[in-house]
A and B are shown apart, each in its own frame.
Chain A
Amino acid sequence: MSTIIEIKNISVHYGTTEALKDVSVVIEQGDFVGLAGPNGAGKTTLIKALLGLLPISKGEIMLFGKSREGFDDWGAIGYLPQKISTINMLFPATVDEVVMTGLLSQKKWPKKITNNDHERVNKTLQELGIDDLKKRMLSELSGGQQQKVLLARAIVSEPKILIFDEPSTALDPESRESFFQLVQKLNKQNGITVILITHDTGYIGQYANKLLYIDKTLIYFGNFSEFCTSEKMSSYFGNYEQHHICHQHSQL
């Protein structure tokens, strides 16, 4: 397995507040990492640091063997932000226009859209079963549909790694189920590495093979199976919570 992401002893500060302290993680190709932790634990901060959206005050991040500062192959990383948080809903963008922005990472200036790009967008929309929404405006779709459109935008460039920030918050249980299955399919069949932030610690074990648990600093990173038997984790979480996190996983 080759290493895709290497996070070495990073710390992130907001002003004088330390949001992350001394976190080190190595993510390998094909991993499906569930990123969990309490509110305000720094989950989103970690991902934003990874994506270059936040400066790090200490340590280093290596993406595909290159330091983050010198990294420019952004098409290799697909990102699905916490829904609607940053999107401008007055913007009259159609579904295909939104998905097209996912291809910009592979283009050099001046960025021109080719027939091939249209085909790639069509193919991705078909794969996700939303090609009938192509000319609809994003703002008039349901939460689940919008989520799929943003997933299409994240995967249209055929990235090697997908990063999700709480993708299931806006979804009803049924859509959540099918969304996670879709992500699992991308992970298993296409070999795409996945990092997924979630609150559903009792649920993610069904899909992820690794757990990354942080609370300002690293609490646990490794396989779910080892997590379940770790005595150190029993003393940290208590037996009940530890069991809750790994319980679902044991059904696999």
Chain B
Amino acid sequence: MDILHFLQYSFIQKAFFAGSFVAIICSTLGMFLVLRKMSLIGDGLSHVSFGAIALGLFLGIYPFYVAIPIVMLASVLILKISEKAKVYGDAAIGIVSAVGIAGGVILASMSRGFNTDLFGYLFGNILSISDTEVMLSAILSFTVLAVVYFFYWDLFSATFDEEYAKTTGIKTEFINMLCALLTAITVVLAVKMVGVMLVSALLIFPAVTALQLARGFRTAMIIGSFVALLSVLLGITVSFFFNIPTGAMIIMINTLFFILSFLYKKIA
């Protein structure tokens, strides 16, 4: 089959469309998360989304509608636990993440009917994305990008030098919260694409690849988005023609870009 026929499939079109949005928000937020040493919050929140999706399936509610508020709540909880309870941020992520998985497993064992559905979310499948999910991805991605656009300099300053940012009147606690909430939305969208197990890679890879090459923050953001977009589109295409799981292929292409950028930096 040639590439033109391939592009005529509506499920491919939907995957390209939703995948592009998710790729760009992942790379945009991922850049801030990586630079703030908060990369693994994506991993923790994806585990929570596993539990939340299980709850949705258990109650017979559309999983995304359950997952988005619960994962947002979990992101706030991670921040609060690390602020108030004398627990380091990474330990707080560990706690919340484990509760998410444990909850999911218990719910799955209580209702035998939906195991296949639930385990589908472990590795995602963007080729089976529904119209509603495409719409949801587009709307939420626009929201995330708009918030980043309007808070760009606050995010920049708070990430570069949090203490100094405070002395210029930036409410850094609020910016941290914003970052966590946007990550929560992004993670839920990305779970559909690459699955619970691989979400954090989608947040981390484009950022670390861009950081090898970039010579300024704006260029880093642009390179990151470009790498993420290319990885998703190539990943979907290659996985279709060679019958390989899509999420895993997207991550492998991201890995390839990272290795190339690293080698380029060494040589140049």
Asked if A101 meets B153 with Cβ closer than 8 Å, knowing A72-B169, A74-B167, A93-B160, the reply is: yes
Asked if A101 meets B211 with Cβ closer than 8 Å, knowing A94-B216, A110-B151, the reply is: no
CA A11 – CA B236 in complex, angstroms?
61
21 example contacts (A-B, Cβ-Cβ < 8 A) are as follows A51-B167, A52-B166, A52-B167, A53-B166, A74-B168, A81-B164, A86-B162, A86-B164, A91-B159, A91-B217, A92-B215, A94-B216, A101-B153, A101-B161, A101-B164, A104-B168, A104-B170, A105-B168, A135-B215, A135-B216, A153-B164
Residues of A participating in the B interface, judged by any CB pair closer than 8 Å: 51-53, 72, 74-75, 77, 79, 81, 86-88, 90-94, 97-98, 100-102, 104-105, 107, 109-111, 113, 135, 137, 153
Known: A92-B216, A94-B216, A105-B168. 6 other contacts (CB 8 A): A74-B167, A92-B220, A97-B216, A109-B150, A113-B153, A135-B215
Q: Are B153 and A88 in contact (CB under 8 A)?
A: no
The 7 closest A-B pairs by CB, nearest first: A105-B168, A74-B169, A110-B150, A101-B157, A94-B216, A111-B153, A86-B163
Using CB atoms, name the residue of chain B closest to A79: B167
Residues of B participating in the A interface, judged by any CB pair closer than 8 Å: 35-36, 149-154, 156-157, 159-170, 211, 214-220
Q: Across the interface, which residues of B come within 8 angstroms of A91, CB to CB?
A: 35, 159-160, 217
Using CB atoms, name the residue of chain A closest to B168: A105
Q: Across the interface, which residues of A come within 8 angstroms of B211, CB to CB?
A: 90, 92
CB distance from A221 to the nearest CB of B (A): 23
Q: Are A79 and B164 in contact (CB under 8 A)?
A: yes
CA A91 – CA B164 in complex, angstroms?
15
CA A79 – CA B167 in complex, angstroms?
7
Q: Are B166 and A137 in contact (CB under 8 A)?
A: no
Q: Across the interface, which residues of A come within 8 angstroms of B214, CB to CB?
A: 92
Using CB atoms, name the residue of chain B closest to A113: B153
Q: Across the interface, which residues of B come within 8 angstroms of A100, CB to CB?
A: 153
Using CB atoms, name the residue of chain A closest to B157: A101
Using CB atoms, name the residue of chain B closest to A78: B167
Listed residue (B156, B159, B211) with the most chain A CB atoms within 10 angstroms of its CB: B156
CA A110 – CA B150 in complex, angstroms?
5
Using CB atoms, name the residue of chain A closest to B208: A90
Q: Across the interface, which residues of B come within 8 angstroms of A51, CB to CB?
A: 166-167
CA A77 – CA B164 in complex, angstroms?
11
Q: Across the interface, which residues of A come within 8 angstroms of B169, CB to CB?
A: 72, 74, 104-105
Q: Are B163 and A101 in contact (CB under 8 A)?
A: no
Q: Across the interface, which residues of A come within 8 angstroms of B154, CB to CB?
A: 104, 109, 111
Using CB atoms, name the residue of chain B closest to A73: B169
CB distance from B227 to the nearest CB of A (A): 15
Q: Are B35 and A97 in contact (CB under 8 A)?
A: no
CB distance from A142 to the nearest CB of B (A): 18
Q: Are B168 and A88 in contact (CB under 8 A)?
A: no
CA A207 – CA B42 in complex, angstroms?
51
Q: Are A101 and B156 in contact (CB under 8 A)?
A: yes
Using CB atoms, name the residue of chain B closest to A153: B164
Q: Across the interface, which residues of B come within 8 angstroms of A111, CB to CB?
A: 152-154
